[in-house]
């Protein structure tokens, strides 16, 4: 297994719309294993393939306390969104050390393939529901900061670019 490099906002590649997975090949299986390892290593609760510069519709999530139950969603589709929405602080591995409020449906039902190619339905609530919506946004080329006001977004963009300049020194 290997750790993958996570793209940092405002990298334009984060704005790529991912393509559906046609077949679960050996390289997809390896990618998924590496995504799970990278998510755990970075203390994240979710990671979309977009964030590691692979533009295919794959996400990995683990909101468990033990961090031992990764869930793989391939070609996820939203079947139903709860009409009630709640605003909560979100963060993202592509926007380090930044948290801000985003409104999300409190429950969501999705259909997706797992890593073995089996399609199943999931009913997500609370943090899991937020995470599913956040990660599915990545596949559409959307980052959570895109929901914030232009003023806040610009502030975050400036902060991230400064951080990246410092790291590249
Ligand atoms: Ni994210």
Max CA separation in the chain (angstroms): 47
Give the pLDDT confidence score for residue 11 in this predicted structure.
97
Q: How far apart are CA 111 and CA 89, in angstroms?
A: 26
> The tokens of 2 are what?
């290997």
74 - beta bridge partners? 58, 113
Q: Collapsing DSSP states into helix, strand and coil, what is residue 19?
A: strand
100 - beta bridge partners? 90
In the DSSP assignment, the letter for residue 14 is G
Give the pLDDT confidence score for residue 168 in this predicted structure.
83
Q: Which residues are identified as catalytic?
A: 135
Asked whether residue 23 carries a pLDDT value surpassing 90, the answer given is yes
Q: Helices then strands (H, E): number in the chain?
A: 3, 7
Q: What is the pLDDT of residues 52-102, one digit of tens each?
A: 999 999 999 999 999 999 999 999 999 999 999 999 999 999 999 999 999
Q: What is the pLDDT of residues 104-158, one digit of tens each?
A: 999 999 999 999 999 999 999 999 999 999 999 999 999 999 999 999 999 999 9
The environment of the single-atom ion ligand 1, i.e. residues with CB closer than 5 A, is 92
Asked whether residue 17 carries a pLDDT value surpassing 80, the answer given is yes
Q: 14 CA to middle of ligand 1, Å?
A: 10
> The tokens of 127 are what?
């943090």
Q: 49 CA to middle of ligand 1, Å?
A: 10
Q: 95 CA to middle of ligand 1, Å?
A: 7
Q: How far apart are CA 23 and CA 153, in angstroms?
A: 37
Question: What's the distance, CA 41 to chain centroid?
Answer: 15
H or E segment to which residue 75 belongs: strand 71-81
Asked whether residue 1 carries a pLDDT value surpassing 80, the answer given is no
Of the pLDDT bands very low, low, confident and very high (cuts 50, 70, 90), residue 165 is very high
Q: 15 CA to middle of ligand 1, Å?
A: 12
The beta-strand segments (E) located in the chain are: 46-48, 58-61, 71-81, 85-92, 95-105, 107-113, 119-125
């Amino acid at each position: 297994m290997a750790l993958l490099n996570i793209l940092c906002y405002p990298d334009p590649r984060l704005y790529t719309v991912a393509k559906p997975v046609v077949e679960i090949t050996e390289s997809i299986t390896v990618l998924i294993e590496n995504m799970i390892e990278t998510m755990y290593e970075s203390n994240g609760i979710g990671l979309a393939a977009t964030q590691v510069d692979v533009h295919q519709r794959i996400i990995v999530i683990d909101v468990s306390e033990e961090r031992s139950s990764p869930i793989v969603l391939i070609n996820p589709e939203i079947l139903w969104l709860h009409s009630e929405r709640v605003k909560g602080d979100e963060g993202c591995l592509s926007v380090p050390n930044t948290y801000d409020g985003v409104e999300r449906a409190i429950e969501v039902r999705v259909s997706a393939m797992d890593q073995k190619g089996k399609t199943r339905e999931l009913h997500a609530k609370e943090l899991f529901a937020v995470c599913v919506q956040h990660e599915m946004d990545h596949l559409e080329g959307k980052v959570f900061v895109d929901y914030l006001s232009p003023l806040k977004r610009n502030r975050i963009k400036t902060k991230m670019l400064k951080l990246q300049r410092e790291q590249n020194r």
